[in-house]
Chains A and B, each alone.
Chain A
Amino acid sequence: MSPAARQSRAPAVLYEKRGAVAEIVLNRPESLNAYDTAMRDGLYEALTAVRDDPEVRAVVLFGNGRAFSTGGDLREFGSAPSPVAARAIRWQRDVWGTLWNLSQPVLAGVHGAVVGGGFEMMLLCDHCTAASDARFSLPETGLGMIPGVAGTQTLPRLIGSGRALDAVLRGTSIDARRARELGLVQKVVAPAQLRRRVHRLAEDLAQRRPALLASLKRLVRDASDLPIDVGLAAERRAARSL
């Protein structure tokens, strides 16, 4: 088998359980982990496996190769079905809703290019560690598009309206240090340390009671959607029941 043929057979997403920690790795290094239908299907499979597996208590997410992910694979865009069909598929296999709604904490470890949908994927996680070489941007408007993985919604809620508009409209590139200042990533580490550091954090979290983590995650996530008295009541109810 030629190297090219072997490469084309490699799964676009790798999934492995190590004890209570599930590791999901984007695995299209030859395309800088651009998101195509194979990756969509692989991610959907991995995320639903996590969702349905009570043994999994924490999830880590990485990308193989030089980049975490450069977002949607533009080479596929010409062959895409009609917008009507694309919209239907988007909600039938709701990869991003599945990621967002996981009850386990999801820890991203990102490096290199973290661009477009790749950046937005990270923003749907619960904690992000960046290698010092990570660079973040949303180039969509320069291509006649807008972000399509919830970035227009997650980003302003994280960093405020002005900064989010700057990132979304201009596609401004953000380096790892700036991303930490903005609160987009919580830690910056040397590239060689990235996986070990994220795994260590996941193992720590996997020691905690899953129901506790699930409640905390839901309460914090829903805080921006709820009137505060409703959020406070939900917090009290959850605290009493745990």
Chain B
Amino acid sequence: MSARPVRLRRTAGLAEVEIASAASGNCIDVGIAQELCAAAEEIAGDEAVSVVLLSTRGRSFCAGADANSPDWAAALASVPQPVIAAVQGDAIDEGAELALLADLRVCARSARFRFSHIAQGRLPSHGATQRLPRAVGRMRALDILLSGRWVGAAEAARIGLATAIAPAGGALPAARRIAIELAGKGPLATRYAKEAVVAGSDMTLAQGIRLEQDLYVLLQTTADRVEGVDSFLERRRPRFRGR
């Protein structure tokens, strides 16, 4: 087995990225950051990958990051496929920002989030000021960022920070089930759906509707869309091929 701190496995449309640095609480050091960037680039360029599962090993999800690491957040944000994070334990500071980079967050009941940047006299710099309000609303985001308090899994689910809850110890299997579920859908459709939601939220509504419509029409030219409609009318499971 590889001793590398970031592992990338690809099987049947699913790419699994695992940070395996339990001894350091999966803190993102320079080496891990470099490997995250490389993994993100590789996944983004691999058309056979339709869903990404992001997980970490050990009790802590991710305890933070070293300063001056390469920009792992930008690299992960540029992955066009849907990304699902399995959050099994504490996600702290940059670790919480890492979880926020995912499109879906599956949290164990024991998982907690904490953004303590302000208490440390610094600002978040890996997206929390932008992605947290987009996920939970402006006032909740400010409350969480200003106080630096713990946000448990139950609250995370209530406010939309967690998109699914799993029993303690069950985040990874639950996230994998969702990943496999998504891998059974149209891979171009799930990419474009992500793009429409994420890119569209940076636009005015009218511009976002234009983007959605153009992606919708582009999908009409694909074999997958024909297969989707045929399978529905024939009452069978679709077989998508990503073209």
Chain A residues at the B interface, C-beta cutoff of 8 Å: 74-75, 77-78, 80, 83, 86-87, 90, 96-97, 140-148, 150-157, 159-166, 168-171, 221, 224-225
Contact = CB atoms under 8 A, between A and B. Distances in A.
A146 B227 contact: no
A140 B189 contact: yes
Contacts of B213: 87, 90, 148
Chain B interface size, as a band, is 35 or more
Contacts of A146: 189, 192-193, 196, 212, 215-216, 219
Contacts of A96: 209
Interface of B: 82, 103-105, 131, 134-137, 160-164, 178, 181-182, 184-186, 188-190, 192-194, 196-198, 200-201, 204-206, 208-209, 212-222, 224-229, 231-233, 238, 240
Contact of B212 (A153, A165, A225): A153
B196 A152 contact: yes
Given A87-B217, A152-B197, A145 B178 contact: no
Contacts of A165: 82, 103-104, 163, 193-194, 197-198
B205 A224 contact: yes
25 contacts: A75-B233, A77-B229, A78-B229, A142-B184, A143-B189, A143-B225, A143-B231, A143-B232, A143-B238, A144-B185, A144-B228, A144-B229, A146-B215, A150-B205, A150-B212, A152-B200, A160-B137, A161-B201, A162-B104, A162-B162, A165-B197, A166-B164, A169-B82, A221-B205, A225-B205
Contacts, number: 156
Given A78-B229, A156-B201, A141 B104 contact: no
Given A154-B205, A160-B136, A160-B137, A141 B186 contact: yes
Contacts of B194: 165, 169
A156 B197 contact: yes
A159 B38 CA distance: 33
B193 A161 contact: no
Contacts of A155: 197
Task: Please give me the 3 A-B residue pairs with the lowest Cβ-Cβ distance, nearest first.
Answer: A144-B228, A144-B186, A143-B228
A75 B235 CA distance: 13
B227 to A, nearest CB: 6
A127 B57 CA distance: 46
B73 to A, nearest CB: 16
Contact of B103 (A87, A140, A162, A221): A162
Contacts of B226: 144
B104 to A, nearest CB: 6
Contacts of A86: 217, 220
A144 to B, nearest CB: 3
Nearest to B185: A141
Contacts of B214: 87
A166 B85 CA distance: 13
B225 A145 contact: yes
Contact of A161 (B131, B217, B222): B131
Given A170-B104, A170-B181, A221-B205, 5 more contacts: A143-B225, A148-B213, A160-B135, A163-B163, A169-B190
Contact of A74 (B105, B206, B220, B229): B229
Contacts of B198: 161, 165
